[in-house]
Amino acid sequence: MTTAATQTTETTPEDPGSPVPRARQSGSDFARLYTRIEAAGLMRRRPGHYALRLTLVGLAFAAGWAAFLALGESGWQLAVACFLGLVFGQLALVAHDLAHRQIFTRRGPSETGGRIVGNLGIGMSYGWWMNKHTRHHANPNHEELDPDVRPDILVWSQQQARAAKGLPRFVGRHQAGLFFPLLTLEGFNLHVSSVRALREPHMKRRRLEGALLFTHFAAYLAALFLVLPPGMALAFLFVHQAVFGVYLGSIFAPNHKGMPTLTGQERPDFLRRQVLTSRNVRGGYLTDLMLGGLNHQIEHHLFPSMPSPHLRRARVIVREYCAELGVPYHETGLIDSWREALAHLREAGAPLRETGRD
């Protein structure tokens, strides 16, 4: 990637809840920005905001399942499935904020809350996601170091496309058109990946993680198949998980896809590493609500423990500071962000369409 600077002058936090890089230099570009942000009071916790948010999301979760039980064998259950898919997405965003210690400053309450919301609430392993997300924050869009851009079913660069074999080689040819259909399976993928991660040596509190996960799966499937006929239960399951997957993908895909990627020893300083690989999505408070504040992705990556309601104010400071430094700051609308991400997927898969080989 071509950047304004490629020297390594700062290190990143070991976990995404850390407020600043541990080796922050007193005279670095990031240190000066952090001073401005701290002076504006934007690193202070917002307990009132999160108390209200957690209450509303909890009520939506309870209301969704109450409607499910009340409706019984009704065609309206598919509407409930759609609603709960969105609620599960909001719960995932709450788990994300807990993991970053935006709600609690201490690790213990953050991990406890994250496991309750993630493992028990939506069937996604907090420990697995935390490990994956920590590496993403440390090296966003680095093809060897960021698990979010490693080739799997999709390829994220032409170099990955040329090395692809089997199913990724076939899917990669048409991955821009298949992206949103594939997102319907992302909810299932999160569940499967969470269970697989229980065998990983890095997994902490493995028994607790597993117990909470399987309690979720047992309660979820029991509710579906005890209340609904088998066919309707399967329809509910697919619609619910499909909406959940598409919603999550629509939140996270615009953040980095289509932005510059890094390879090998390319590792700019902390500020540029985060700003140049991230994209902001313009919008009002409804956008903030639906995307959980992650539409301010640049600010979130620079200050991962900043409470999400402060990200909008931080955006003004960060954008002005980047202009002072001459660091590109990319921001676009939601539809354009998806368009840019899909255009990148199409470009990345171009070598597979040129060769025409399986």
Is residue 9 scored above 80 in pLDDT?
no
Note the pLDDT of residue 201: 84
Nearest by Cα to 224 from 116, 88, 78 = 78
Confidence of residue 15 (pLDDT cuts 50, 70, 90): low
- Report the pLDDT value the prediction gives residue 127, as an integer from 0 to 100: 95
Encoded tokens for 204: 């902490």
| Mean pLDDT, residues 270-295 | 96
Q: Smallest Cα–Cα separation from 317: which of 36, 28, 39?
A: 36
Here the tokens at position 258 are 């289509």
| Average model confidence (pLDDT) across the chain | 91
Cβ neighbours, 10 Å, residue 15: 18
Q: How far apart are alpha carbons 162 and 148 in whole angstroms?
A: 19
At 354 the pLDDT is 85
Contact of 259 with 301, CB cutoff 8 Å: no
Please return the burial class of 59, using the count of CB atoms within 10 Å of its CB with bins 0-12, 13-18 and 19+: exposed
Whether residue 87 is predicted with pLDDT greater than 70 in this model: the reply is yes
- Percent of the chain residues past pLDDT 90, beyond the cut: 87
What pairs with residue 281 in β-bridges?
332
Q: With a cut of 90, say whether residue 356 has pLDDT above it.
A: no
The mean per-residue pLDDT over the stretch 272-288 comes to 96
Q: What share of the chain in percent tops pLDDT 70?
A: 92
Is the model's pLDDT at 290 over the cut of 50? yes
Average pLDDT over residues 271-278: 97
Q: What number is the average pLDDT over the span 40-44?
A: 97
Q: How confident is the model at residue 19 (pLDDT cuts 50, 70, 90)?
A: very low
Q: Residue 44 and residue 110: Cα distance in Å, rounded? A: 16
Distance CA 146, CA 140 (A): 6
Which pLDDT score is estimated for 27?
Answer: 54
Q: Are 256 and 279 in contact (CB under 8 A)?
A: yes
Average pLDDT over every residue of 143-164: 93
User: Rounded to whole angstroms, how far apart are CA atoms 92 and 86?
Assistant: 10
> What is the distance between the alpha carbons of residues 212 and 119, in angstroms, rounded to a whole number?
5
pLDDT of residue 267: 84
Estimate to the nearest angstrom the gap between the alpha carbon of 92 and the chain centroid: 9
Residue 6 has pLDDT above 80, yes or no: no
Q: Any idea what DSSP says for residue 116?
A: I
Distance in angstroms (rounded) separating the CA atoms of residues 35 and 13: 18
Tell me, what's the pLDDT at 16? 54
Q: Decide if pLDDT at 351 tops 80.
A: yes
Asked whether the predicted pLDDT for residue 10 surpasses 50, the reply is no
pLDDT tens for each residue of 200-233: 988 889 999 999 999 999 999 999 999 999 999 9
